Chain A
Amino acid sequence: MNPEKVVFGFFIVLALTLNFGFFVGDLDNPDHHHVYELFAVVIVNLIATILKLGDRSQMGAVLLATSLVAILQLIAAALVWTAAEHITGTGLTPTVTASIVSLSGGAMLANVISVILLIIETVMLRR
Chain B
Amino acid sequence: MRQPLMTLLVVYSIAILVLTLIPGQDESGNVYYMDFFHAIYFVSFMATTIGFGEIPFEFTDAQRVWVIVSMYAGVISWLYAIGTIFTLVQDKTFQHALSENKLARKIRGMREPFYLVCGYGETGSALVKGLTDGGQRVVVIEIEEYRRNLIRIDNLRDFVPSLHGDAQKPKHLQEAGLQHSLCQAVVAVTNVNEVNLKIALTSKLLHPQIKVICRADSHDVENNMESFGTDHIIDPYDTFATSLATAFQVPCLHLLQSWLFSANDELALDEPVYPPKQKHWVICGYGRFGKAVYERLIKEGMEVVVIEADPSATGEPVEGIVYGRGTEANTLLEANIEEASGLIAGTDNDANNLSMVVTARELNPDLFIIVRQNHSDNSSIIDSVNADMVMHPSKIIADKIRVLLGTPMLYQFVSLAYYQDNDWACELVSRISALVGNQMPKLTEITINNHEARAVVDVLGNGETVKLADLQRDPWKRRDCLKCIILMIECHNDFLLLPGPDTKINQGDRLLVCAGDGGFTRLRWNLQHDNILSYVRKGTVTKHGWLWEKLNRKSK
A: residues with CB less than 8 A from B are 35-36, 39, 43, 46-47, 50-51, 53-54, 78, 82, 85-86
Interface assignment of B452: CB less than 8 Å from any CB of chain A: no
Across-interface contacts of A50 in B (CB, < 8 A)? 2, 5-6, 9
B37–A47 touching, CB < 8 Å: no
A44 to chain B, nearest CB (A): 9
Complex-state Cα separation, A47 to B9, whole angstroms: 7
Contact of A39 among B2, B5, B10, B17 (CB under 8 A): B17
Residue of A whose beta carbon sits closest to that of B5: A50
Please indicate which of the listed interface residues B1, B9, B36 has the most CB atoms of chain A within 10 Å of its own CB: B36
Across-interface contacts of B20 in A (CB, < 8 A)? 36
A85–B35 touching, CB < 8 Å: yes
Residue of B whose beta carbon sits closest to that of A55: B2
A78 to chain B, nearest CB (A): 8
Q: Mark B225-268, 1 if CB is under 8 A from A, else 0.
A: 00000000000000000000000000000000000000000000
B: residues with CB less than 8 A from A are 1-2, 5-6, 9-10, 13, 16-17, 20, 35-37
B37–A85 touching, CB < 8 Å: yes
Residue of A whose beta carbon sits closest to that of B9: A46
Given known A82-B37, A85-B35, A85-B37, contact A43–B9 (CB-CB < 8 A): yes
Give 27 CB contacts A-B under 8 Å: A35-B35, A35-B36, A39-B13, A39-B16, A39-B17, A39-B36, A43-B9, A43-B13, A46-B9, A47-B6, A47-B10, A50-B2, A50-B5, A50-B6, A50-B9, A51-B2, A51-B6, A53-B1, A53-B2, A53-B5, A54-B1, A54-B2, A78-B36, A82-B36, A82-B37, A85-B37, A86-B35
Complex-state Cα separation, A19 to B37, whole angstroms: 20
B224 to chain A, nearest CB (A): 39
Complex-state Cα separation, A51 to B10, whole angstroms: 13
Complex-state Cα separation, A36 to B21, whole angstroms: 10
Complex-state Cα separation, A45 to B242, whole angstroms: 75
Across-interface contacts of B5 in A (CB, < 8 A)? 50, 53
Please indicate which of the listed interface residues A35, A43, A53, A54 has the most CB atoms of chain B within 10 Å of its own CB: A43
Across-interface contacts of B37 in A (CB, < 8 A)? 82, 85-86
Residue of B whose beta carbon sits closest to that of A39: B36
Residue of A whose beta carbon sits closest to that of B35: A85
Complex-state Cα separation, A82 to B5, whole angstroms: 25
Complex-state Cα separation, A46 to B10, whole angstroms: 10
Across-interface contacts of B16 in A (CB, < 8 A)? 39
Complex-state Cα separation, A54 to B13, whole angstroms: 23
Across-interface contacts of A46 in B (CB, < 8 A)? 9
Given A36-B17, A39-B16, A51-B2, 19 additional A-B pairs, CB 8 A: A35-B36, A36-B20, A39-B13, A39-B36, A43-B9, A46-B9, A50-B5, A50-B9, A51-B6, A53-B1, A53-B2, A54-B1, A54-B2, A78-B36, A82-B36, A82-B37, A85-B35, A85-B37, A86-B37
Complex-state Cα separation, A36 to B17, whole angstroms: 8
Complex-state Cα separation, A43 to B6, whole angstroms: 11
B431 to chain A, nearest CB (A): 65
Complex-state Cα separation, A23 to B17, whole angstroms: 21
B11 to chain A, nearest CB (A): 11
Across-interface contacts of A36 in B (CB, < 8 A)? 17, 20
Complex-state Cα separation, A20 to B400, whole angstroms: 74
B540 to chain A, nearest CB (A): 68
Complex-state Cα separation, A35 to B16, whole angstroms: 13
B130 to chain A, nearest CB (A): 41
Residue of B whose beta carbon sits closest to that of A87: B37
A40 to chain B, nearest CB (A): 9
Across-interface contacts of A78 in B (CB, < 8 A)? 36
Residue of A whose beta carbon sits closest to that of B21: A36
Complex-state Cα separation, A94 to B2, whole angstroms: 39
A104 to chain B, nearest CB (A): 15
B89 to chain A, nearest CB (A): 16
A86 to chain B, nearest CB (A): 5
B296 to chain A, nearest CB (A): 59
Complex-state Cα separation, A85 to B35, whole angstroms: 10
Complex-state Cα separation, A7 to B204, whole angstroms: 48
Across-interface contacts of A47 in B (CB, < 8 A)? 6, 9-10
Residue of B whose beta carbon sits closest to that of A78: B36
Residue of A whose beta carbon sits closest to that of B37: A82
Complex-state Cα separation, A31 to B137, whole angstroms: 70
Residue of B whose beta carbon sits closest to that of A83: B37
B2 to chain A, nearest CB (A): 6
Complex-state Cα separation, A95 to B2, whole angstroms: 38
B451 to chain A, nearest CB (A): 42
Complex-state Cα separation, A35 to B36, whole angstroms: 8
4 A-B pairs closest in CB distance: A43-B13, A82-B37, A50-B5, A50-B6
Complex-state Cα separation, A78 to B36, whole angstroms: 10
Residue of A whose beta carbon sits closest to that of B10: A47
Across-interface contacts of A54 in B (CB, < 8 A)? 1-2
A121 to chain B, nearest CB (A): 19
Residue of B whose beta carbon sits closest to that of A82: B37
Across-interface contacts of A53 in B (CB, < 8 A)? 1-2, 5
A35 to chain B, nearest CB (A): 6
Complex-state Cα separation, A47 to B3, whole angstroms: 11
